[in-house]
Amino acid sequence: MLTSSVDLNAKIPNNVGLADDPKVRRALERWQPRFLNWWHEMGPTDFEPNDVYLRTAVSVDSSGWANYDYVRMPEYRWGIFLTPRDATPTIHVGDATGQPAWTEVPGELRTALRRIIVTQGDTEPASVEQQRMLGHTAPSLYDMRNLFQVNVEEGRHLWAMVYLLHKHFGRDGREEAEALLERRSGDADRPRILGAFNEPCDHWLSFFCFTMFTDRDGKYQLAALAESGFDPLARSCSFMLTEESHHLFVGETGLERIIKRSAELEQLDPNGDIRAQGGIEFDMIQRAINYWYSHSLDLFGGEVSSNAADWFAAGLKGRYREGSRFEDHRALEGTLSIPVVEDGRLTVREVPLRNAMNQILRDDYTADCERALRRWNRVLETAGSSFRLSLPSQRFHRHQGLYADQDFDPEGNPITREQFEARQAEWLLQPEDNAYLSSLMVPVRGPGQFANWIAPPSRGINQQPLDFEYVRL
């Protein structure tokens, strides 16, 4: 049996048969109060007694997997769900393509798999920590609810990875599960594993950029892991993707609503001065895009990577939509052209496909981001603004990979450190920007009311009206 029926009444709702697995069930039941302590200490501040209109995963049926109701966040039913499979699953990529997938961890892949699961798992609580103060400055009840929805689901994603650690990695797994509750975003001594998950997210422009760009990295990582030959990981990630799409929606539409409102304020002001009208200037939005997009690009890892090649060869991680977009799942032939800097000049290097897997995933991500940029620019056009937003080059402002040791302008041209420093205030969010943005962030809490700097969404959540009481304060 590949999936048990959904047990919603268990202490930990699940479809992984915890009732018949006392050892793992007890281990998870011991972890549960520690998770709740972490939530209390590091989750959204001060809104624990409030009823929030949240969706909860209650099924793995793609036609209706969620239930919407008022819930207090600490009472959210964090569960463990794997996407069901009908047929015997096979390995999707690499040297063993077509052979049966693993239901237990192969010994020789144990270290790599644990690292993959821990790294993914670490991002989930990290983002909750980064966002914990934002409830106080929400521009509407609708947005506050969306923030909390993202937060509780990141909590569930942590559960998803912790289940795999407890179930498949014995004592090491239990220790890793503890450590996931001990690291802290931005902490000097025990930071979260990946860079972008230690960056401050102090205001809602950063929150929307984070959910647009950083959660979107998550989408591509989950999609690549949904192709994994380790079947429990593949099925876990595949269910996480159903929740993740709402997070991306929050980011993409949040930015779109800011852009729309800024364009309206530009028209409203006799001098086209958005700031004079209490809005967010386009230059500042562009700097926020540059900042979060570049940090998020780092999350994909090195452009040329022997690790990526090993993981693909072993069948641990595939490409985005491997099954429908690629015919050759071994990728032993062919190359990807990757720009590199030699003697301060750009040239192109041909990299064998397997070594370029990180870059192949990053290029798919960039294409997805470009789609959103085109959509936002259509909003600007319709509103009569002449401003256009853009994505910087993948080489701009990087801290990992081939471009980390050289400075580039947003067009991707190599420049000196001095040239970068002279212009970075034009290109990246500055302390003055953050101070101005924080000054704009006054809470708006009447049902149906929205802060001046953001347009209302086009519709509510789960067919509720915009003036629905999404959070009962």
Q: How far is the CB of 247 from Fe ion (least distance, A)?
A: 4
DSSP tag of 211: I
Indicate the residue among 153 and 298 with the shorter CB distance to Fe ion.
153
Backbone angles phi, psi at 79, to 5 degrees: -120, 175
Residues 6+ apart with CB under 8 A from 399: 195, 295, 298
Alpha-carbon distance of 365 to 217, in angstroms, equals 7
Backbone angles phi, psi at 352, to 5 degrees: -55, 140
Residue 451 gets the label, from left (phi > 0), alpha (psi -120 to 50) or beta, of: beta
Q: How far is the CB of 163 from Fe ion (least distance, A)?
A: 14
Indicate the residue among 247 and 261 with the shorter CB distance to Fe ion.
247
Compute CA distances 348 → 341, 345, 357, whole Å: 8, 10, 17
Backbone angles phi, psi at 394, to 5 degrees: -60, -20
Alpha-carbon distance of 158 to 149, in angstroms, equals 14
Alpha-carbon distance of 123 to 146, in angstroms, equals 19
Q: How far is the CB of 250 from Fe ion (least distance, A)?
A: 9
Burial 196-220 (b: 16+ CB within 10 A, else e): bbbbebbbbbbbbbbbbbbbbbbbb
Q: How far is the CB of 162 from Fe ion (least distance, A)?
A: 13
Indicate the residue among 129 and 244 with the shorter CB distance to Fe ion.
244
Q: How far is the CB of 332 from Fe ion (least distance, A)?
A: 33
Q: How far is the CB of 219 from Fe ion (least distance, A)?
A: 8
Residue 47's SS3 state is coil
Find out whether 92 and 329 touch, Cβ atoms under 8 Å: yes
Indicate the residue among 161 and 336 with the shorter CB distance to Fe ion.
161
Alpha-carbon distance of 398 to 206, in angstroms, equals 18
Rg of the Cα atoms in the chain:
23
Please report, as ranges, the residues that interact with Fe ion according to CB under 5 A.
124, 154, 157, 215, 244, 247
Indicate the residue among 154 and 256 with the shorter CB distance to Fe ion.
154
Residue 439's SS3 state is helix
Indicate the residue among 122 and 154 with the shorter CB distance to Fe ion.
154
DSSP tag of 169: S
Q: How far is the CB of 123 from Fe ion (least distance, A)?
A: 7
Indicate the residue among 25 and 247 with the shorter CB distance to Fe ion.
247
Indicate the residue among 184 and 247 with the shorter CB distance to Fe ion.
247
Find out whether 197 and 130 touch, Cβ atoms under 8 Å: yes
Residues 6+ apart with CB under 8 A from 222: 120, 237, 238, 240, 241, 244
Find out whether 145 and 461 touch, Cβ atoms under 8 Å: yes
Indicate the residue among 176 and 433 with the shorter CB distance to Fe ion.
176
Find out whether 393 and 408 touch, Cβ atoms under 8 Å: yes
Q: How far is the CB of 334 from Fe ion (least distance, A)?
A: 32
Alpha-carbon distance of 365 to 300, in angstroms, equals 10
Find out whether 403 and 358 touch, Cβ atoms under 8 Å: no
Q: How far is the CB of 213 from Fe ion (least distance, A)?
A: 12
Q: How far is the CB of 263 from Fe ion (least distance, A)?
A: 28
Q: How far is the CB of 205 from Fe ion (least distance, A)?
A: 18
Q: Where are the beta strands (DSSP E) in 58-168?
A: 66-72
